[in-house]
């Protein structure tokens, strides 16, 4: 038992509910985050190219970006909440150790969000200077990803927390962790790959309006996806090898569930590469979405393994009270119905215009 | 103690919380009220078949989107970040007890986002009735976000039945839930009007500008008419210790309430004159000024609410420094060092007094005190203390100053904290035998003075303050200290102790007393005793000299008899005529630029 790990608070329903909700909402956040990376990256690239079709593509992507920021944030809130319920005693500590950076996420995000709106709303008048805004926004987003990687990895290893006693000013990072850079690259490069695939999916919506843009989007998107997925296989291996040996071995046969999920994910990666190279966009996107969930599960299994020497979520004390959870699920269903209705109204009005 | 402390000696985490929270709350109330404003403004445009009003509403919805969704939404996440960095134990308590409250709020946040996007991007492109319904969906989900957060924030101040049963609903529908919800709803409507002033000020079409400025002015005035009584209703629901703090025992709350009052008056007057009576005068400067008043009002309310909760982060449950009230006795027995996780030294030993003291400061004081910073600087606050006085103060800190949490730990640990403050910060000796420097005299009365009074005023100052007092006058003053000055706690000693203390105080001015007067100038002492807690002299906070610039002696002297009439937030000056004369002389001399 590590003496630095805080005593956790009690939880109101069995831990499995929170684990379920965490695994349900995190992939949605990852998906939006990946699309944000891919759309900004390809929009920047297209904006920098001189031809007219690329400029039009950059604009189509710019128009989607504000939505992606909003939903990345919103879908980030839920898993962060459920993570804190189960693992708050780890996450609060690692956040405090790097508090200055962690808090910097907020101004960086505000900066990125306003830059993106400026890029979108003033696309024409900014001209090529727009590339500066989307470029800076992308830089801010990648920095945020780096801060998140530091925090999430620091939360896994309480043995690194003693650094606090040398520096309590909240300016620590987890640079000494050998998994840090492969983990960061794995998430960001993977993000750009999935984001590229999403651009290719969106190309379908533009086909009728501007077939040239649609063709361009589809081509750049799929190229991004396939090349980066190849790189991702290598990065994933590097990440795996950098994990502590006992944890790595769990995925190599020592733990049945971990190994099965890992092998399925690996096979699926090869499959999406093949379907991607053949430009079967719909199939690739569907399989990649499944892959994203598997990756979230793998990530969770690794966390459980990291925490195993100190903590298991099953040991959290439950002081049961289920009625608030009923309120949540009822609201969630009503909210989704309401959202569905609104989207339908928008589609109807778009058709009528 | 359960968590590490983010140590920012000169800034202090509480300052960061206040900064982020105040701007967020300002915008988030706009996010609620502004939704209703958009719907009703659009409906007005439809009913009057006025395309200009519809165009205005559309433009305002873009401004609304950019302010509330980006800045409001992200600073909301920012509050969550900053409280988990500065108050991790309190945040964890709120997250774990109310997780499904937060999760439900997240659903409304999601519906809000989708609704606002749909509303903004389909303006003029969707059938009008459906568009209005989407506007209503936005407003209703935004209001339910407020409903949910209001329950959890209210819980922190008035946990009510939760203290007994730990039930989600008892904590959520706590005693301040309804008054706070009604108050915040009115404030949200007011913010909607205030922010709309901005859009109005940018209109070029005069007819439209007049119409919408008046429309917005009505929002503000009607909302204000609802906010004031519901604000009092809210205050009336505060539990007793918080009431006392709000009623004047806390100088910072008194100051915050003053600012709140000024801003309400300013909002009222500006709205009446510049929007209802003469909308032609409304312009961008007016809009920014009145919006700044709105920010000030919000800041004043939030400050009061947060400060009134002291010394707790969750009333009666957890102190501001994250220590559970219920754990106090155990920690006092076992020692803080061995109970805490994030201290450098886990066993007490004399060689490390300073390190231990500093850790204790981080864990028990730094939640509110900075070291050499702007906010609650511990160095300035303890400048008059000797080591024994510091120790004695720490022993009874919570009894003396309710809004300070008690020191928790063993007497040895308390000694370490006192040593760090007195020696580590001030470089003074930390010797138990060193006589309190600021008490001159011997005997039981002097001892009582050293134990109870010297933390805020030394004997020289009291000597100056009680010149010409009879023994009876001194003795009766000891029975009603808080009525002499609301910031002074009543003396809880027995009647015979009061007699001894009175005799000592009286002896200070008796012939043959060797106690030196604190200051050469009696007027300066009166200023320090009565005015300095809210006023500086020439520069700094709320300086007095600029206010009386050009006044003659007569005018100053008259003003001192009617302070409460000059400024309703100022208490009357309770001082003898001689003291008032001394203060007059001092202020007059200073205002002439001369030395008294």
Q: Choose the weakest-confidence range: A100-109, B359-368, B410-419, B464-473.
A: B464-473
What sign does the dihedral B95-B97-B100-B101 (CA atoms) show? negative
Single out the residue of B441, B455, B558 nearest to residue B505, CA to CA.
B441
What pLDDT was estimated at residue B67? 95
Per-residue CA distances from B528 to B465, B524, B537 (Å): 10, 6, 10
Any idea what the Cα angle at residue B422 is, between residues B417 and B427, rounded to 5°?
135
**C-alpha–C-alpha distance, residues B478 and B498, integer Å:** 7
Contact B462, B474 (CB under 8 A): no
Contact B100, A325 (CB under 8 A): yes
Is residue B200 scored above 60 in pLDDT? yes
Is residue B433 scored above 60 in pLDDT? no
Task: For chain A, positions 111-150, list CB contacts with chain B under 8 A.
Answer: 113-114, 117
Name the band, by pLDDT with cuts 50, 70 and 90, for residue B434. Answer: very low
Interface test with A, best of B19, B75, B91, B96 (most A CBs within 10 A): B96
What pLDDT was estimated at residue B441? 66
**C-alpha–C-alpha distance, residues A58 and A43, integer Å:** 4
What pLDDT was estimated at residue A269? 95
- Please tell me if residue B66 touches chain A, with a CB cutoff of 8 Å: yes
* A6 vs B contacts (CB less than 8 Å): 2-3, 88-89, 92, 341
* B3 vs A contacts (CB less than 8 Å): 6, 92-93, 96
What pLDDT was estimated at residue B190? 96
Name the band, by pLDDT with cuts 50, 70 and 90, for residue B444. Answer: confident
Name the band, by pLDDT with cuts 50, 70 and 90, for residue B541. Answer: low
Q: Which ranges of chain A have pLDDT less than 70?
A: 1, 353
**C-alpha–C-alpha distance, residues B161 and B166, integer Å:** 8
What pLDDT was estimated at residue A1? 63
Is residue B72 scored above 50 in pLDDT? yes
Residue B417 structure tokens = 């904290």
| 3-class DSSP string for B406-419 | CCCCCHHHHHHHHH
- Please tell me if residue A231 touches chain B, with a CB cutoff of 8 Å: no
* B108 vs A contacts (CB less than 8 Å): 331, 335
Buried-exposed string A255-294: b where 16+ CB fall within 10 A, e elsewhere = beebbebbeebbebbeebbebbeeeebeebbebbeebbbb
Residue B476 structure tokens = 């009766």
Contact B21, B79 (CB under 8 A): yes
What pLDDT was estimated at residue B126? 93
What pLDDT was estimated at residue B534? 65
Per-residue CA distances from A144 to A28, A29, A112, B427 (Å): 18, 14, 10, 43
Please tell me the distance in Å from B19's CA to the nearest CA on chain A: 13
Task: For chain A, positions 258-297, list CB contacts with chain B under 8 A.
Answer: none
- Please tell me if residue A244 touches chain B, with a CB cutoff of 8 Å: no
**C-alpha–C-alpha distance, residues B196 and B154, integer Å:** 29
> Which residue has tokens 């008043």?
B293
Is residue B489 scored above 80 in pLDDT? no
- Please tell me if residue B73 touches chain A, with a CB cutoff of 8 Å: yes
Is residue B435 scored above 50 in pLDDT? no
Single out the residue of B256, B267, B269 nearest to residue B293, CA to CA.
B267
**C-alpha–C-alpha distance, residues A205 and A198, integer Å:** 12
ipTM: 0.95
Contact A96 B5 (CB under 8 A): yes
Contact A168 B4 (CB under 8 A): yes
What is the count of residue pairs from A and B with beta carbons less than 8 Å apart?
181
**B258-267, pLDDT tens digit by residue?**
999 999 999 9
Mean pLDDT of B336-355: 90
Please tell me the distance in Å from A155's CA to the nearest CA on chain B: 13
Contact B96 A346 (CB under 8 A): no
Task: For chain B, positions 350-369, list CB contacts with chain A under 8 A.
Answer: 362
């Amino acid at each position: 038992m590590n003496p630095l790990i805080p005593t956790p608070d009690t939880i109101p329903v069995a831990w499995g509910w929170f684990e379920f909700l965490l695994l349900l909402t995190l992939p949605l956040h990852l998906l939006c985050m990946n699309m944000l990376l891919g759309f900004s990256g390809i929009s920047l690239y297209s904006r920098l190219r001189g031809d007219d079709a690329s400029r039009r593509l950059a604009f189509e992507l710019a128009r989607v970006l504000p939505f992606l920021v909003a939903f990345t944030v919103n879908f980030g809130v839920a898993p962060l909440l459920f993570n804190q319920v189960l693992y708050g005693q780890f996450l609060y500590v690692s956040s405090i150790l790097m508090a200055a950076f962690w808090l910097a996420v907020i101004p960086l995000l505000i900066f990125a969000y306003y830059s993106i709106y400026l890029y979108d709303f003033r696309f024409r008048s900014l001209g090529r200077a727009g590339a500066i805004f989307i470029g800076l926004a992308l830089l801010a987003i990648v920095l945020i990803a780096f801060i998140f990687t530091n925090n999430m990895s620091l939360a896994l290893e309480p043995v690194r927390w003693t650094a606090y006693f040398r520096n309590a000013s909240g300016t620590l990072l987890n640079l000494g962790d050998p998994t840090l850079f492969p983990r960061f690259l794995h998430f960001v490069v993977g993000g750009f790959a999935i984001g590229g695939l999403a651009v290719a999916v969106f190309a379908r919506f533009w086909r009728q309006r501007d077939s040239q843009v649609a063709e361009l989007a589809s081509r750049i998107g799929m190229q991004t996806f396939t090349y980066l997925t190849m790189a991702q296989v290598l990065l994933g291996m590097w990440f795996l090898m950098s994990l502590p040996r006992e944890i790595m071995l769990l995925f190599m046969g020592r733990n049945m569930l971990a190994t099965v999920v890992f092998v399925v994910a690996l096979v699926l990666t090869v499959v999406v590469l093949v379907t991607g190279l053949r430009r079967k966009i719909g199939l690739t996107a569907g399989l990649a979405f499944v892959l994203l969930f598997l990756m979230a599960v793998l990530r969770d299994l690794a966390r459980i393994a990291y925490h195993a020497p100190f903590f298991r979520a099953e040991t959290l004390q439950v002081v049961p009270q289920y009625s608030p959870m009923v309120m949540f699920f009822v609201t969630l269903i009503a909210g989704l119905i309401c959202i569905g209705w609104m989207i339908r109204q928008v589609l109807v009005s778009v058709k009528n215009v | 103690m359960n968590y590490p402390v983010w140590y920012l000696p000169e800034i202090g985490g509480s300052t960061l919380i206040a900064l982020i929270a105040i701007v967020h709350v300002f915008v988030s109330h706009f996010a609620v009220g502004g939704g209703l404003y958009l719907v009703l403004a659009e409906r007005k445009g439809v009913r009057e078949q006025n395309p200009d009003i519809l165009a205005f509403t559309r433009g305002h919805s873009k401004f609304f989107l950019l302010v509330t969704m980006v800045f409001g939404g992200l600073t909301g996440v920012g509050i969550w970040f900053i409280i988990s960095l500065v108050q991790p134990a309190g945040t964890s308590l709120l997250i774990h007890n109310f997780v499904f409250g937060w999760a439900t709020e997240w659903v409304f946040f999601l519906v809000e986002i989708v609704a606002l996007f749909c509303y903004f991007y389909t303006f003029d492109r969707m059938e009008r009735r459906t568009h209005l319904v989407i506007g209503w969906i936005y407003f209703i989900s935004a209001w339910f976000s407020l409903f949910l957060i209001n329950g959890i924030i209210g819980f922190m101040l008035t946990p009510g039945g939760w203290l007994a049963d730990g039930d989600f609903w008892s904590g959520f529908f706590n005693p301040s839930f309804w008054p706070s919800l009604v108050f915040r709803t009115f404030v949200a409507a007011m913010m909607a009007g205030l922010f709309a002033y901005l859009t109005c000020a940018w209109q070029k079409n005069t007819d439209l500008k007049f119409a919408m400025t008046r429309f917005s002015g009505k929002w503000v005035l009607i909302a204000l008419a609802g906010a004031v009584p519901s604000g009092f209703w809210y205050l009336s629901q505060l539990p007793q210790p918080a009431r006392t703090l709000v009623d004047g025992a806390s100088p910072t709350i008194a100051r915050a309430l003053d600012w709140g009052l000024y801003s309400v008056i300013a909002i009222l007057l500006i709205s009446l004159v510049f929007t209802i009576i003469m909308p032609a005068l409304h312009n961008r400067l007016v809009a920014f000024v009145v919006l700044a008043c709105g920010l000030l009002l919000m800041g004043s309310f939030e400050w009061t609410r947060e400060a009134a909760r002291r010394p707790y982060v969750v009333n009666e449950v957890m102190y501001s420094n994250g220590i559970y009230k219920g754990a106090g006795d155990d920690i006092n027995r076992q020692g803080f060092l061995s109970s805490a996780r994030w201290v450098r030294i886990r066993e007490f030993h004399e060689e490390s007094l300073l390190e231990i003291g500093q850790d204790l400061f981080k864990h028990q004081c730094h939640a509110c005190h900075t070291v050499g910073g702007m906010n609650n600087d511990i160095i300035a606050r303890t400048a008059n203390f000797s080591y024994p006085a510091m120790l004695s103060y720490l022993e009874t800190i919570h009894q003396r100053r309710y809004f300070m949490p008690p020191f928790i730990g063993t007497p040895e640990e308390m000694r370490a904290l006192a040593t760090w403050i007195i020696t580590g910060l001030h470089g003074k000796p930390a010797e138990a035998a060193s006589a309190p420097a600021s008490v001159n005299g011997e005997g039981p009365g002097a001892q009582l003075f050293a134990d109870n009074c010297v933390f805020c005023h030394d004997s020289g100052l009291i000597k100056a303050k009680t010149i010409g007092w009879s023994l009876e006058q001194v003795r009766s003053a000891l029975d009603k200290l808080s009525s002499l000055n609301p910031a002074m706690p009543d003396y809880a000693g027995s009647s015979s102790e009061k007699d001894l203390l009175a005799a000592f105080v009286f002896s200070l001015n008796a012939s043959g007393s060797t106690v030196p007067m604190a200051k050469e100038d009696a007027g300066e002492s009166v200023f320090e005793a009565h005015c300095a807690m809210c006023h500086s002299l020439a520069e700094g906070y709320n300086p007095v000299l600029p206010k009386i610039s050009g006044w003659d002696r007569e005018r100053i002297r008259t003003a001192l008899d009617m302070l409460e009439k000059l400024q309703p937030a100022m208490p009357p000056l309770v001082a003898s005529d001689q003291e008032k004369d001394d203060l007059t002389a001092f202020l007059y001399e200073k205002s002439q630029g001369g030395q008294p």
